[in-house]
Structure 1
Amino acid sequence: MTELKNILYKVAINAVVGNTITNVNKIEFDSRKVGQEDVFVAIRGSVSDGHDFIEKAINQGALAVICEKTPDVIVNGVTYVEVQDTQSALAIMASNYYGSPSENLKLIGVTGTNGKTTIASLLYMLFKKAGFKVGLLSTVKIMVDIEEYKATHTTPDSLMINHYLKEMNKAGVEYCFMEVSSHGIHQKRTEGLAFAGGIFTNLSHDHLDYHNTFKEYRDVKKIFFDNLPEKAFALVNKDDKNGVFMLQNTKAKQYTYGLKSYADYRGQILENSLGGLLLKLNDHEVWVKLIGTFNAYNLLAIFGTAELLGLETIETLQLLSDLHSVSGRFEYMISENKITAIVDYAHTPDALKNVLETINDIRTNNETLITIVGCGGDRDKTKRPVMGNIAAKLSNKTIFTSDNPRTENPDKIIEDIEKGVEPQHYKKTLSITDRRQAIKTACQLANKNDIILIAGKGHETYQEINGERMDFNDFEIIKKELKKLNK
């Protein structure tokens, strides 16, 4: 049990009805999970409003209610706390409830459109190899040092974030690397957290179903940097025109990285092949197992962060050379009959373009590049024709298929993608709604030395159709299909 008054420390309160000097059990924002002597936080969501469930929460035993509007009917014995913003209040309360766990480790946030998962995950690996106890909060998984937990969102809710940070405290974790999504920032899930640093990767077309305009999407990302404290560092990609914009108004110490610009952490690609990259990082040469220009940027951000967190340069370079790709991020295999299969999470136009350009840079052009791509349902529709255009233009053959259609008709999604294909590329494309069949067809079309790219789902091990999640793993399926060709 914790005293309500202590949980409300630093929350902007408008009014109180009742007594805050009372002990409460736990905090909940889902009325279905409320139990005896809990605090219920009424959040206004895009689908439902928690204020409509205040009565239900009280009937289930809530002792206190945090709301933006105090109900007309007051129940005796229940404390009502009216606040400016319940999302912000929840984040601050969650931190207070768990004893401000972010203050007891160095928490680094990674934000941007592409590269968040790779950078956070590789930083986790690098610092583990350096001998530290490390935490990770990512799209793929949550790590409390060596204990692994399943991730459900890019940025979990405030209660979950602080719960895992508290577990990290218990495990003696010194550094935690965390993906920070635009949704998470907008919904104030990261408020109340003490960040020691922030990394900006890049900004391109994504999530416009949620943010409405690119400007709104960009400005939300900037909030993260605006809120960094003086003691923190802000490390941004100077080659992205939005990088310097992120630094405006930040109180944090400012640093930059880039391949094209003069920056604090400068990189140069000396060699780029399917075997890896030879890079020059601030006058030091290093060979790494990762592939492509986009990974050169990721490695620059990792190099800069490691230096800013106090690792020695030579040790950092040695550790970089030992890193391997993250699950579903340019993950590849070469079959017995010499067909290369690549699985990548590229689900935005910019990410798809980066991956295809990387493949085209390192191949001889004697091979056929076959791309399998789709777009998610119930998400930003404006990017569909753009992705269709990029895939058809930069591949020799393209198969449009289902991604996670969710509640949308997959054929309609594919029609939207096809609209972006220019007439001269029509003959290079075909559409197969069934994703498994699309992968099978690509394998049948491929000859020795050809390359198959399966884009969009990456690390995901499911396909979501009509609200149901079914087992589906791109990498495992193409492995099986290519094996069949060897028989």
Structure 2
Amino acid sequence: MKTLRDILHHIPTVKLAGDAGVQVKDLQLDSRKVSDGTAFIAIRGAVSDGHDFIGKAVENGAVAVFCEKLPQVVQENIVYVQVKDTQEAAALVAGNFYQHPSSEIKLYGITGTNGKTTVATILYKLFTGLGYKCGLVSTVENKIGQEVIPATHTTPDAISLNALLQRMQQEGCTHVFMECSSHAIHQHRTTGLSFAGGIFTNITHDHLDYHKTFDEYIKVKKKFFDQLPSVAFALTNIDDKRGSVMLQNTKATKRTYSLHTMADFKGKILENALTGLVMLVNNREVHFRLIGEFNAYNILAVFGTAISAGEDSEEVLRILSMLTSAEGRFDYIVSKRNIIGIVDYAHTPDALQNVLETIGQLKKTGGRVIAVVGCGGDRDKAKRPVMAKVAAELSSRVILTSDNPRSEDPAVIIREMEAGLNTAGKRKAISIADRKEAVKTAVSLANDGDIILVAGKGHEKYQEVNGVRNHFDDREVLMEMFELLEK
């Protein structure tokens, strides 16, 4: 338990009304979770405004309220802290309350459109293999050592994140690897954290429903690197045309990785097959279990991070050569009829293109690629026709289907995808709103030597329809359809 004065350390306030010596035992952003002794932080969200629930928080036992605007009715026994930005305040307050756990560990943040989960997961596996107790904060799962904690967001809210980092530190984690989404950076969830390193994967068309313009999206990613301290390192993919932009204003030590240009960490693909990648990494030939050019970049990002963190290159490459990717990332199974099924999280045009181009390189002569592709509801609509266009250009057959339609009508989403198809694309495409039926159809169309890609959901074990999450696992469904086909 701390006093309000303790958790206000170094936080600029507009107005403080009440006794800053009041004891605070908990922090909450959700008024429903407030109990006696809680400090409630009212945040303006996309769906609701926490300021509307200040009264409810007080009823539930809040002793202090952080807000951007004081409520019309101010209660005498409650301390009100008016700040300019409650999202920023929440991150700084959480850091003070949980005793700045990020400064007691080596925290590495991975940002970019694609590859964040894979890079974070492989780093976690690598450093665990190097003998460290590690933490992982990712889209798929959070981990403290070997303990798995289900993930609900790519990056948790600032309070949950600091609480999680404190637990990691208290339980002996020395290294923590965290995905840093653009939403999290923009919403100050990573503000106030002490990063030992930042890694940039790439940037492509995504989240424009939230950021509105691509330029704003780039600026948000860049902000993460701008805020790194001089004792940290900033590692960027120099082959990405915005890779160098990320380093422009950073105080951190600048490092680069590349497949095609000069860089601190240089790779070259010698062989790409279903058995894995053979690469030169800084002139050392290594066989990796990961597949595809996109994973070659992920390998270089991991290698560059480890070397920048002071690890031995030979030992890093030895362990790295044995590691597999994150769940739902180019996850493949082979049927008894020799049809290959691949489940991948690819949900942006660029990620879909990367996966399909890799599949095109792997398929046997005469083999076909059948892609099952959907787009999420209540998300960036501009990418829908582009996703369908990419799928049609790089596949023999395309089945357009539901992803997570959320509150939207799946038929409308599919029609918006169909708008990206030219005459040739329309001849290749079938539209089936039921995702399970779409996978079944893809399997029924496939012959020996064909490859089926089921894209968009990857590790997810649910499908969200009208606010309800129903169990749905692409890999499970694909295996079920293979078994039915082989009976």
For 1:221-370, what aligned pairs fall within 5 Å after superposition? 221-370=221-370
The list of structure 1 runs, each at least 4 consecutive aligned residues, that deviate by more than 6 angstroms after superposition, is none
User: In the alignment, does 2:450 pair up with 1:456?
Assistant: no
Residue in 2 that maps onto 1:141 = 141
Partners of 2:229 and 2:145 in 1: how far apart? 26
**SS state of the match for residue 46, structure 1?**
coil
For 1:44-59, what aligned pairs fall within 5 Å after superposition? 44-59=44-59
Percent sequence identity is 54
For 1:158-169, what aligned pairs fall within 5 Å after superposition? 158-169=158-169
User: In the alignment, does 2:480 pair up with 1:480?
Assistant: yes
* Preserved CA contact (<8 Å) 2:121 2:325: no
Task: Give, in angstroms, the shift of residue 426 of structure 1.
Answer: 1.7
Task: Give, in angstroms, the shift of residue 201 of structure 1.
Answer: 0.4
Task: Give, in angstroms, the shift of residue 183 of structure 1.
Answer: 0.3
Residue in 1 that maps onto 2:469 = 469
Residue in 2 that maps onto 1:170 = 170
Partners of 1:375 and 1:62 in 2: how far apart? 41
Task: Give, in angstroms, the shift of residue 70 of structure 1.
Answer: 2.1
Partners of 2:71 and 2:485 in 1: how far apart? 66
Task: Give, in angstroms, the shift of residue 22 of structure 1.
Answer: 1.6
Partners of 2:363 and 2:333 in 1: how far apart? 15
**SS state of the match for residue 404, structure 1?**
coil
Task: Give, in angstroms, the shift of residue 52 of structure 1.
Answer: 1.6
| Equivalent residue letter for 2:464 | E
Residue in 2 that maps onto 1:381 = 381
* Preserved CA contact (<8 Å) 2:363 2:449: no
| Equivalent residue letter for 2:79 | T
Partners of 2:357 and 2:317 in 1: how far apart? 26
CA deviation vs aligned residue, 1:279-334 (integer Å, no higher than 9, x gap)? 00111111001000000000000000011111101001101111012110000011
CA deviation vs aligned residue, 1:30-73 (integer Å, no higher than 9, x gap)? 11111112111111111221112212211221111111122333
CA deviation vs aligned residue, 1:140-180 (integer Å, no higher than 9, x gap)? 00001111100000011011111111111111101000000
Residue in 1 that maps onto 2:42 = 42
Partners of 1:60 and 1:426 in 2: how far apart? 57
CA deviation vs aligned residue, 1:415-471 (integer Å, no higher than 9, x gap)? 011110111222111011100001111111111111000000000000011111111
* Preserved CA contact (<8 Å) 2:371 2:395: yes
| Equivalent residue letter for 2:78 | V
Task: Give, in angstroms, the shift of residue 244 of structure 1.
Answer: 0.6
| Equivalent residue letter for 1:325 | S
Residue in 1 that maps onto 2:194 = 194
CA deviation vs aligned residue, 1:215-273 (integer Å, no higher than 9, x gap)? 01110111100110110000000000111101111111100001011111001000011
Partners of 2:365 and 2:426 in 1: how far apart? 20
User: In the alignment, does 2:423 pair up with 1:423?
Assistant: yes
Partners of 2:460 and 2:382 in 1: how far apart? 23
Partners of 2:366 and 2:309 in 1: how far apart? 45
| Equivalent residue letter for 2:396 | N
| Equivalent residue letter for 1:22 | V
Residue in 2 that maps onto 1:23 = 23
**SS state of the match for residue 196, structure 2?**
strand
Answer with 264-273 or 1-10: which moved more: 1-10
Answer with 73-82 or 433-442: which moved more: 73-82
Answer with 73-82 or 111-120: which moved more: 73-82
Partners of 1:452 and 1:126 in 2: how far apart? 30
| Equivalent residue letter for 1:50 | G
* Preserved CA contact (<8 Å) 2:111 2:199: yes
Task: Give, in angstroms, the shift of residue 485 of structure 1.
Answer: 1.7
Partners of 2:14 and 2:466 in 1: how far apart? 43
Task: Give, in angstroms, the shift of residue 12 of structure 1.
Answer: 1.5
Partners of 2:467 and 2:402 in 1: how far apart? 14
| Equivalent residue letter for 2:432 | I
The gaps in structure 1 that reach 5 residues or longer are: none
**SS state of the match for residue 296, structure 2?**
helix
| Equivalent residue letter for 2:423 | P
Partners of 2:230 and 2:244 in 1: how far apart? 17
Residue in 1 that maps onto 2:6 = 6
Task: Give, in angstroms, the shift of residue 368 of structure 1.
Answer: 1.1
Partners of 1:441 and 1:3 in 2: how far apart? 62
Partners of 1:115 and 1:452 in 2: how far apart? 21
Residue in 2 that maps onto 1:88 = 88
Answer with 235-244 or 76-85: which moved more: 76-85
Partners of 1:468 and 1:162 in 2: how far apart? 29
**SS state of the match for residue 401, structure 1?**
strand
| Equivalent residue letter for 1:128 | T
Q: TM-score, normalised by structure 1?
A: 0.99
Task: Give, in angstroms, the shift of residue 74 of structure 1.
Answer: 2.1
The gaps in structure 2 that reach 5 residues or longer are: none
Partners of 1:460 and 1:141 in 2: how far apart? 11
Partners of 2:459 and 2:38 in 1: how far apart? 37
CA deviation vs aligned residue, 1:104-141 (integer Å, no higher than 9, x gap)? 11000000000000000000001111111000000000
Partners of 1:13 and 1:395 in 2: how far apart? 57
**SS state of the match for residue 154, structure 2?**
coil
Partners of 2:224 and 2:432 in 1: how far apart? 41
**SS state of the match for residue 241, structure 1?**
coil
Count of residues paired in the alignment: 487
Answer with 162-171 or 349-358: which moved more: 162-171
| Equivalent residue letter for 1:446 | A
